[in-house]
């Protein structure tokens, strides 16, 4: 390797093309996956590992058919054969050989592309689920990885582990498949004398408290682990890192809030007492009282409230918000109440303005689509402080809205607002002096690991009790063959004075064909099935005014049966509605079903949720595919429980956190290695260390935290604009 040059070059300043084996062509391909410096290459981690315990001999392939997991076969390609099938389609067969026999791998399409990827004689690993094809064990469209004859063979035979790197077509074209990556990484490690490897960003106390391997070792082990143990240590370290920075963001945010001046409110209780004395038609539940005590304590303290109110659908969160709002008003401040949809904003407005009017409190509604004149009037009423409470949608946080004395922001159905929106909201609404109190409300029961991450900067209050006198909603799963009976049941309910929702799936509000289906069904229901009853329609493509008219009519029972898309999913409150019929229930996610079911069972009457599906979903023996089996299980689980928490955990397990919250909506920085469900313990560790650090050095000014600060700034800059100021 010759003598090392005088000073070593830092990896982060070395263009990746100078790593031995890279060069300009590969540099361009690497740029496509965000690898620009030698340091980036070091942090280009394997996506999985081949280990010997999962490698099968070909003679055992038949037995492997019974194994539900993926297995791997390693051998040489004996032949590559492409068979034309007509219509421009073709199949490809590869015969793989090891010392115990041969087996086939089959590709049904994209053959042209794959055919070029394999050559006779190559040493290769194929991974997949073994199935039977033409009575022979075989792999269909297996995952593949080119191996190096000597070193990888040695790895496999000594029980080693081979890293498999994520690649793209562009990378493969310049020879950067997994094997290519292993080579250039080995070159990079081999040239250690020329480069300055990155310093460990963590100070020794964090490393030792959490039993992390030092950075240098962790990096070399993640690329070239000798055994499971090394790999385990190394993965632990990088998962910890990922979660640590996430928690640090939350911790710093939390810390700033705790130390920034708030608006201390001395709750005089006058308005609240008046409300309770004669205006509110019910008594608060113990649970509602408990969360209100927590909220009052925050609003009185010297720093801003930053609290999440969690309570299942129908638990009565709105009235809690109303009382918090009254507390702000009593103290001479304005309050903003934000909802995710205009329908919901209008509903909140009509509910709370009734109460507030009786107390002499001025309330305004602010949504998109209002006439400019009206809107300007509302703006100036807010700015001059003539209106005390503003209910609305995102429109409230637009630049033009200026509050005179904003003291409290309530955000309803928080899961539509992510971490980032939450911050934007607070920063926008921020008056010169003190930050207003913030109360966010959600009906999504949040599994604990998520409440520590997505909501990890908030204090949490939970309403865990339903108002008394409610009857438990009955849920039934019905197929097409029951349809007439279901319609008869609905008619009877309406004749008894109740109201009904019939919901159609509309995955995307702009999906024209779905909307057409819902609209056509509406016409048929109105003119044929339920002739003589009043049937209404509501969907997302209607104007706000139209939607409002329909909702008002439904509230007054001028509409008996409301045919709807999921625009009614969140928050709608019509206690006289007792039937929720969900069409194509198999197409809805669990949390969505739970939200929909939450629209009924809100009054004194027995309520019924009916899930309509094709008959095949009724019976686990009739489902034909694994998706159908999952849908069947999901529907069964849903009919068996009304426990929102159970439903959420199951949903989270089925869909993963990204889907669960909607990837964009969650506002979470994406996690590459850590898993929010499986890595609970690491989350707890990372959180502890991060919060301790933020307490100790909130602005990360200490020299020993320099690297942490730099990494944080580099990776999360957009998330934390305000860090720059410190």
Q: Which is it for strands 130-133 and 136-140: parallel, antiparallel or unpaired?
A: antiparallel
Q: Which two tokens stand for residue 67?
A: 């194994």
Question: Per-residue string for binding with Mg ion, 387-416, x by CB under 5 A?
Answer: ------------------------------
Nearest CB to ligand ADP, comparing residues 242 and 413: 413
Give the other-Cβ count within 10 Å of 167's Cβ: 19
Is the distance from CB of 143 to CB of 163 less than 8 angstroms?
Answer: no
Rounded Cα distance, 334 and 339, in Å: 17
Nearest CB to ligand ADP, comparing residues 370 and 595: 595
Distance from first CA to last CA of the chain, Å, rounded? 45
Which residue has its beta carbon closest to Mg ion?
571
Nearest CB to Mg ion, comparing residues 73 and 337: 337
Q: Name the residue with tokens 């062509």.
A: 25
What count of Cα atoms within 13 Å lies in the side-chain half-sphere of residue 652? 20
CB of 312 to Mg ion, least distance (A): 10
Nearest CB to Mg ion, comparing residues 103 and 574: 574
Is the distance from CB of 521 to CB of 508 less than 8 angstroms?
Answer: no
CB of 652 to ligand ADP, least distance (A): 20
Nearest CB to ligand ADP, comparing residues 153 and 294: 294
Could you say which of ligand ADP, Mg ion, none residue 282 binds, taking C-beta under 5 to 8 angstroms by partner kind? ligand ADP
Q: How many helices (H) and strands (E) does the chain have?
A: 26, 25
CB of 443 to ligand ADP, least distance (A): 5
Could you say which of ligand ADP, Mg ion, none residue 319 binds, taking C-beta under 5 to 8 angstroms by partner kind? ligand ADP
Nearest CB to ligand ADP, comparing residues 134 and 468: 468
Which residue has its beta carbon closest to ligand ADP?
316
Q: Which two tokens stand for residue 712?
A: 């944080």
CB of 344 to ligand ADP, least distance (A): 10
CB of 698 to ligand ADP, least distance (A): 35
CB of 29 to Mg ion, least distance (A): 51
For residue 259, the 8-state DSSP code is H
Q: Where are the beta strands (DSSP E) in 505-619?
A: 535-538, 561-564, 577-582, 608-613
Q: Which two tokens stand for residue 633?
A: 């299980």
Nearest CB to ligand ADP, comparing residues 478 and 599: 599
Nearest CB to ligand ADP, comparing residues 570 and 723: 570
Rounded Cα distance, 452 and 676, in Å: 10
Interface size with Mg ion, residues (CB under 5 A): 1
Nearest CB to ligand ADP, comparing residues 313 and 652: 313
CB of 116 to Mg ion, least distance (A): 57
- CA 169: distance to chain centroid? 29
CB of 396 to Mg ion, least distance (A): 17
Could you say which of ligand ADP, Mg ion, none residue 142 binds, taking C-beta under 5 to 8 angstroms by partner kind? none
Could you say which of ligand ADP, Mg ion, none residue 540 binds, taking C-beta under 5 to 8 angstroms by partner kind? none
CB of 572 to Mg ion, least distance (A): 8
Is the distance from CB of 200 to CB of 207 less than 8 angstroms?
Answer: yes
CB of 314 to ligand ADP, least distance (A): 5
For residue 4, the 8-state DSSP code is P
Nearest CB to Mg ion, comparing residues 426 and 444: 444
CB of 601 to Mg ion, least distance (A): 14
DSSP 424-490: HHHHHH--SS-PPEEEEEE-S---HHHHTTTTTTSEEEEE--PPTTPPPPEEEEEEGGGHHHHHHHH
Site for ligand ADP, rule CB under 6 A: 282-285, 288, 311, 313-319, 443, 467, 571, 573, 575, 602
CB of 140 to ligand ADP, least distance (A): 48
Q: Who's near 616: CB < 8 A, 6+ residues apart?
A: 622, 623, 624, 628
- Tell me the backbone φ, ψ of residue 190, rounded to 5 degrees: -65, -25
Could you say which of ligand ADP, Mg ion, none residue 213 binds, taking C-beta under 5 to 8 angstroms by partner kind? none
Nearest CB to ligand ADP, comparing residues 467 and 698: 467
Give the other-Cβ count within 10 Å of 441's Cβ: 23
Rounded to the nearest 10°, the torsion over CA 675, 681, 683, 685 is -150
- Tell me the backbone φ, ψ of residue 186, rounded to 5 degrees: -65, -40
Rounded Cα distance, 553 and 56, in Å: 67
Nearest CB to ligand ADP, comparing residues 311 and 505: 311
Rounded to the nearest 10°, the torsion over CA 594, 600, 602, 606 is -120
Could you say which of Mg ion, ligand ADP, none residue 311 binds, taking C-beta under 5 to 8 angstroms by partner kind? ligand ADP
Could you say which of Mg ion, ligand ADP, none residue 599 binds, taking C-beta under 5 to 8 angstroms by partner kind? none
Q: Which two tokens stand for residue 56?
A: 């099968």
CB of 571 to Mg ion, least distance (A): 4
Could you say which of ligand ADP, Mg ion, none residue 575 binds, taking C-beta under 5 to 8 angstroms by partner kind? ligand ADP
Question: Per-residue string for binding with Mg ion, 219-258, x by CB under 5 A?
Answer: ----------------------------------------
Could you say which of Mg ion, ligand ADP, none residue 388 binds, taking C-beta under 5 to 8 angstroms by partner kind? none
CA-closest candidate to residue 436, choices 317, 267, 667, 265: 265
Rounded Cα distance, 609 and 538, in Å: 19
Nearest CB to ligand ADP, comparing residues 317 and 605: 317
Is the distance from CB of 422 to CB of 454 less than 8 angstroms?
Answer: no
Could you say which of Mg ion, ligand ADP, none residue 436 binds, taking C-beta under 5 to 8 angstroms by partner kind? none
Q: Name the residue with tokens 């304005």.
A: 334
Q: Name the residue with tokens 């709807």.
A: 564
Could you say which of Mg ion, ligand ADP, none residue 315 binds, taking C-beta under 5 to 8 angstroms by partner kind? ligand ADP
Which region among 54-62, 282-290, 495-503, 564-572 touches Mg ion (by CB under 5 A)? 564-572
Question: Per-residue string for binding with Mg ion, 567-596, x by CB under 5 A?
Answer: ----x-------------------------
Give the binding site for Mg ion (CB under 5 A).
571
């Amino acid at each position: 390797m010759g003598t090392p040059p005088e000073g070593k070059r830092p990896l982060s300043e070395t263009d990746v093309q100078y790593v031995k084996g890279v060069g300009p062509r590969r540099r361009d391909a690497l740029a496509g996956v965000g690898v620009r410096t030698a340091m980036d290459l070091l942090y280009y981690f394997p996506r999985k590992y081949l280990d010997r315990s999962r490698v099968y001999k070909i003679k055992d392939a038949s037995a492997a058919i019974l194994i539900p997991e993926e297995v791997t076969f390693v051998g040489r390609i004996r032949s590559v054969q492409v068979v034309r099938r007509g219509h421009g389609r073709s199949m490809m067969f590869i015969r793989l050989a090891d010392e115990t026999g041969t087996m086939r791998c089959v590709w049904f399409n994209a053959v042209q592309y794959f055919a070029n990827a394999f050559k006779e004689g190559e040493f290769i690993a194929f991974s997949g689920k073994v199935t039977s094809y033409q009575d022979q064990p075989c792999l269909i469209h297996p995952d593949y990885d080119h191996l190096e004859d000597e070193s990888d063979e040695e790895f496999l035979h000594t029980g080693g582990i081979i890293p498999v790197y994520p690649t793209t077509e562009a990378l493969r074209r310049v020879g950067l498949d997994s094997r290519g990556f292993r080579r250039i990484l080995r070159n990079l490690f081999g040239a250690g004398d020329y480069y300055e490897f990155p310093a460990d960003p963590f100070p020794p106390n964090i490393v030792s408290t959490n039993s992390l391997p030092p950075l240098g070792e962790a990096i070399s082990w993640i690329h070239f682990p000798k055994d499971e143990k090394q790999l385990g240590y190394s993965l632990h370290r990088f998962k910890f890192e990922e979660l640590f920075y996430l928690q640090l963001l939350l911790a710093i945010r939390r810390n700033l809030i705790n130390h920034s001046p708030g608006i201390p409110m001395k709750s005089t209780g006058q308005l609240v007492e008046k409300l309770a004395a004669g205006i509110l038609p019910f008594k608060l539940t113990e649970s509602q009282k408990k969360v209100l005590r927590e909220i009052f304590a925050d609003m009185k303290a010297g720093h801003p409230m930053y609290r999440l109110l969690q309570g299942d659908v129908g638990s009565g969160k709105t009235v809690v918000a109303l009382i918090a709002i009254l507390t702000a008003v009593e103290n001479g401040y304005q309050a903003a109440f934000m909802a995710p949809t205009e329908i919901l904003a209008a509903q909140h407005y009509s509910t709370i303005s009734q109460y507030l009017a009786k107390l002499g409190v001025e309330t305004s509604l602010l949504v998109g689509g209002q006439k400019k004149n009206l809107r300007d009037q509302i703006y100036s009423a807010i700015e001059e402080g003539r209106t005390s409470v503003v209910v609305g949608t995102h429109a409230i946080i637009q630049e033009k809205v200026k509050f005179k004395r904003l003291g409290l922001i309530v955000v309803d159905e928080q899961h539509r607002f992510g971490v980032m929106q939450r911050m934007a909201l607070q920063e926008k609404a921020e008056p010169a002096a003190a930050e207003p109190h913030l109360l966010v409300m959600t009906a999504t029961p949040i599994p604990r690991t998520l409440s520590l991450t997505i909501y990890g900067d908030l204090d949490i209050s939970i309403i865990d009790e339903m108002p008394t006198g409610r009857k438990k909603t009955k849920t039934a799963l019905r197929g097409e063959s029951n349809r007439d009976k279901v319609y008869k049941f609905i008619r009877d309910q309406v004749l008894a004075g109740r109201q009904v929702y019939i919901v159609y799936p509309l995955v995307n509000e702009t999906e024209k064909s779905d909307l057409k289906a819902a609209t056509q069904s509406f016409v048929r229901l109105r003119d044929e099935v339920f002739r003589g009853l009043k049937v209404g329609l509501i969907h997302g493509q209607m104007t706000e005014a139209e939607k409002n008219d329909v909702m008002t009519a439904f509230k007054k029972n001028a509409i008996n049966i409301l045919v709807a898309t999921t625009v009614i999913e969140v928050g709608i409150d019509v206690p006289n509605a007792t039937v929720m019929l969900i069409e194509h229930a198999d197409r809805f996610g669990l949390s969505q079903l739970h939200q929909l079911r939450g629209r009924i069972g809100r009054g004194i009457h027995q309520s019924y949720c009916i899930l309509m599906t094709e008959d095949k979903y009724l019976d686990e023996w009739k489902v034909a595919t694994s998706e159908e089996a999952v849908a069947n299980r999901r529907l069964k689980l849903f009919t068996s429980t009304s426990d929102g928490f159970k439903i959420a955990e199951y949903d989270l397990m089925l869909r993963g956190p990204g889907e669960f919250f909607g990837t964009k909506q969650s506002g979470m920085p994406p996690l590459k290695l850590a898993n929010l469900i499986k890595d609970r313990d690491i989350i707890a560790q990372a959180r502890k260390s991060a919060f301790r650090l933020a307490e100790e050095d909130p602005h990360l000014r200490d020299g020993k935290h320099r690297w942490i600060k730099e990494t944080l700034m580099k990776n999360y800059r957009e998330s934390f604009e305000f860090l720059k100021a410190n």
